[in-house]
Structure 1
Amino acid sequence: MTQLNNKTSGYPRISERYIKYKLKEENIKMIRVEYTDLNGVNRSKLLPVDMIDHVFEEGIAFCTAIMSMSFDNKIAEVDYIEENNYDDFKILADPSTFKILPHIDNTALLLGDLYHNGEKMKQSPRWFLKRMIKEYQNLGYNPISANELEFFLFNRKKDGAFIPYTNKAGNCYTSDYRIDPNQFLGKMTETFKEMDFQVLYMNHEFYPGQYEYNWKHGSVLRNADEGVLFKGISKEIAHQNNLFITYMAKPLDDNGGSGGHFHFSIEDIVSGDNLFFDQDKADGMSDLMHNFAAGILKHAKALTAFLAPTINCYKRFQPNSFAPYYIGWGYDNRTAFLRVPKERGGATRLEVRAGSAAANPYLALASILAAGLDGIKNELEPEPISEEDLYYQDIDERERVPKSLELALAALEKDQWLKECAGQDLINNFVKLKELEVNKFFNSVTDWEWDFYAYHV
């Protein structure tokens, strides 16, 4: 079993005995046992509290077909799943993830790990991430991450229409009545702090009704767990308040997109020192940091399949959008795929800016770690760092971020290193699932096509 020590898991040690005590003390009646599928959708079963021993010892069964199910309930043809006749897998709860849900009466939640026929399930995004963390630990490293997650918030109207929660421009980096007239966001933040989420702060983003939450730097696993839970629970809290949250990459024609940016550094597993910092280097960046960056840039096209996993995501990759257009890295450069923030010392880090809010945090973080691992193990050197606006580079001089999900998937299938790190079964399942999505799109006639063509042709 892939075990992470308590220091690097990011969680306080919690025993099953303590959980049973808290269930009784807090009068908990229901337990939600949850995991995240390849699409980033949270799947769960709701159980009466007297099933708690079963949750830890026997596990809860789910049909394997769910791992190949698209957003519209269609099942992709995945050999591994079909060959096993759509049998069951099980989820065993991870005690460290125990949370009492403040927004749902008498209910607690546990995340879990997936097992198929007694073995770790090969398609599990959480196992992929755990394996990558363990690879770094074996080298004496502790990978550290922090999330930035953007979303759009809408009012629900009686006629079914969605209207941005705030509809005025010019409110970027504000946090007063103009961007939270009903104090919803403040209350939602309090709810997550009650659950001990490592959120640092919230602010209004660039477009009306768009917001961003930032996480504290810490355990990659905990940041991924909190990322998937934040997305699901925030939508629940919004629904309870007659609001709607979406993490769709670009939900509106006239506004920009929502990113999911990931900051990375690497600590010494014993001392806790930030190994990306080297005070003897003019730029303060260590050889290890350069190696990690080189791995990201080498695998950037394939990484994009995990960082931007929907067709809609690719409408975000436009010049002047604060999303990357060309592949490169730069000092404090928000036009780059990979940004080097100004801070040094313990705050020395890299920011991967290609991520979309629609990304599955487990797959995004795991694949970034996998790419960085190639750079570290093979001592890769990155291209010269750019000090220019990368939106206006000559296409002959620099590679572009893939224009579409199909191109990103093709790059992923050709990337032998990422396939070995993720496992062929996970890659095959993910690609088949996404190809189903692509085919569905190409067989659909959009409103834009009707409006643009029907009258004239």
Structure 2
Amino acid sequence: MDKAQIVKYLLDHDIQKVKFAFADIDGILRGKTIHRKKFIDGLDEGYGFCDVVFGWDSSDVIYDNAAVTGWHTGFPDRLCRIDLNTFRTIPWEQDLPFFLADFGTGDGGGLPVCPRTLLRRIEKECEDAGFHPEFSQEFEWFNFKESPDSLQDKDFNGLRPLSPGMFGYSILRPSQHSAFYHDVFDLLGRFDIILEGLHTETGPGVYEAAILHSKVLRSADKAVLFKSGVKEIASRHGIVASFMAKWNAELPGCSGHIHQSLWSSDQKKNLFYEAGASDRISELFRHYIAGQLYCLPHILPMFAPTVNSFKRLVEGTWAPTTLSWGYDNRTTALRALNGTEKSARLETRVPGSDCNPYLAMAAALASGLYGIKNKLSLEIQATKGNAYQEKDVQRLPSNLGAATEAMSNSTIASDLFGKAFVEHFTATRMWEWSQYEKQVSKWELKRYFEGI
């Protein structure tokens, strides 16, 4: 629907309010509900929005190391624009009209630290190179019979999972909570987020969903809205949904794997597939894999952005720990799927469900394109078997501090995303790490308080 059609829709249905939102640096949706008149008046010129949303962390604590905004700027309004192509209605809010926005100009310009603006620019670079980027993300998450109030009252201890036991791919468990299960599938579908599949994963109360693939920016939009939508639907069933990467050391973590392929500009040919090759993958696909492997140590925080992200990246937990790739191998960082032209793709397995989809997809696409542009050779051999046992393969940084330091000092990262974005993003990740380092954990108290 274009501008005129949307305005007509609002008037014809006597709709008085509209909701819009955008993703901050952590991938958290920030936004507001506005009156129809304000919405219509701002369609051409945009809307002012306080830029504190890029000056504070996920707990609304002001960064003390960010230059883009802060007390030193007075937190002015920045111009944001609603993307009319994102129009949908929220079925669990009486079909309230909803739009996504960003702090961009529509052509990739605008505020360089805005995640959606960054991905829009990378998508355009991909198209300018003659490729159509097709992406999708899948998520695992834990569900609890809790509320925001009970989480605080319990201090996050003794939480009740939606269902007990390890029941991966269970038919029984979803049927025991069928109202919630089917609302996730059906209501998200009406919200223009079509799921390819929804099932339980191994772990108490764990679900996994794969979102139908789309062009990269649209795919990231759907991934961001999926996480928010699941949380809102869950709340209406007395459930808290958590996309934390690793909430319990004894249980598996939650992934946010990214599937991707490059197609011809007319979308008729999968450029990752080559039927005549011995392994059915094209030279272009090999360059793309090589680019991701080469860039990964330089941009890891874009895939693993929190302290907790790295608690998931440990051996034997279905998450990667090394700079590795393999054919249909779920122990490697990159999993190449080469069965048919229709399905040939790369699965980047580093991201957890806590990632910002805009930044994770921007990182995947930009680094793959880097490999193509520079015709990087795929010198790392494909892993056969268990990647955890390959001791001579480079390991990923083990914590957010080390990964962020590597990114902040990397010319590769600045070449891919621009100096302004890298400086701001790494400053926010170092802030996150510094907040963690100040804390005294229960583990430390139990280990040292009395006996040391």
Checking the alignment, whether the CA contact within 8 Å between 2:55 and 2:68 is kept in structure 1 is no
CA contact (8 A) 1:297 1:328 kept: yes
> What is the correspondence of 1:429-440 to structure 2 with a 5 Å cutoff?
429-440=424-435
What count of residue pairs does the alignment treat as equivalent? 440
CA distance in 2 between counterparts of 1:182 and 1:455 reads: 49
Task: Supply the distance in 2 between the matched residues of 1:230 and 1:178 (Cα, whole angstroms).
Answer: 19
Q: Residue 10 of structure 1 aligns with which residue? A: none
Deviations 1:123-161 (A, max 9, x none): 111111111111111111101111111111110178545
Residues 178 and 145 (structure 1 numbering): CA distance in 2 closer, same or farther, change over 3 Å?
Answer: closer
Q: Give the Cα separation in 2 of the matches to 1:347 and 1:115.
A: 33
Question: Is 2:174 aligned against 1:186?
Answer: no
Pick from 394, 403, 409: which aligns with 1:414? Answer: 409
Alignment-derived partner of residue 87 in structure 1? 76
Distance between the aligned counterparts of 1:242 and 1:320, measured in 2?
33
Shift of 1:87: 2.0
SS of the residue aligned with 1:79?
coil
Contact 2:24 2:30 in 1 (8 A): yes
Shift of 1:243: 0.8
Aligned equivalents of 2:234 and 2:192: distance in 1? 19
Once the two structures are superposed, the pairs formed by residues 36-47 of structure 1 within 5 Å of their partners are 36-47=23-34
Q: Kindly indicate whether the alpha-carbon contact (under 8 Å) linking 1:299 and 1:415 is maintained by their aligned counterparts in 2.
A: no
1:362-383: CA deviations, max 9, x gaps?
0000011111111000100112
Scaled by the length of structure 1, what TM-score is found?
A: 0.92
For the pair 1:356 / 2:347, whether they are aligned, the reply is no
Identity across matched positions, percent = 27
Q: 2:6 aligns with which of 19, 26, 33?
A: 19
Relative to structure 1, the CA distance from residue 332 to residue 115 in structure 2 (aligned partners, 3 Å threshold; closer, same or farther) is: closer
Could you tell me how far 1:325 is from its partner in structure 2? 1.1
Contact kept? 1:179, 1:204, Cα under 8 Å? no
Q: Secondary structure at the match of 2:58?
A: coil
Verify the 8 A CA contact 2:336 2:347 in the aligned structure 1.
Answer: yes
| Aligned alpha-carbon RMSD (Å) | 1.9
Note the C-alpha offset of 1:208: 1.2
Corresponding residue number in structure 2 for 1:164: 161
Q: Structure 1 residue 391 and structure 2 residue 388: aligned?
A: yes
How far apart are residue 401 of structure 1 and its match?
A: 1.4
Query: Any conservation in 1 of the 2:274–2:282 contact (CA below 8 Å)?
Result: yes
* Equivalent position of 1:155 in the other structure: 145
Please give the alpha-carbon distance, in whole angstroms, between the structure 2 residues aligned to 1:350 and 1:204: 23
Deviations 1:25-63 (A, max 9, x none): 444332111100111111101102222213312322222
Find the partner of 2:192 among 160, 185, 196.
196
Cα distance change, pair 271–56 in 1 and its aligned pair in 2 (3 A): same
Task: List per-residue Cα deviations over 1:196-244 (Å, max 9, x = no partner).
Answer: 2132110101211111110222211111001111111211121122110
Cα contact 1:166–1:209 (8 A) shared by 2? yes
Q: Does 1:424 align with 2:419?
A: yes
Shift of 1:409: 0.7
Report the residue type matching 1:233 in the other structure: G
CA distance in 1, matches of 2:10, 2:286: 47
Residue 74 of structure 1 and its aligned partner are, at CA, apart by 1.9
- Over 3 Å counting, the alpha-carbon distance change for 1:51 and 1:176 in structure 2 is farther
User: 2:66 corresponds to which residue?
Assistant: 78
**1:88 partner letter:** D
Q: CA deviation at 1:444?
A: 1.0
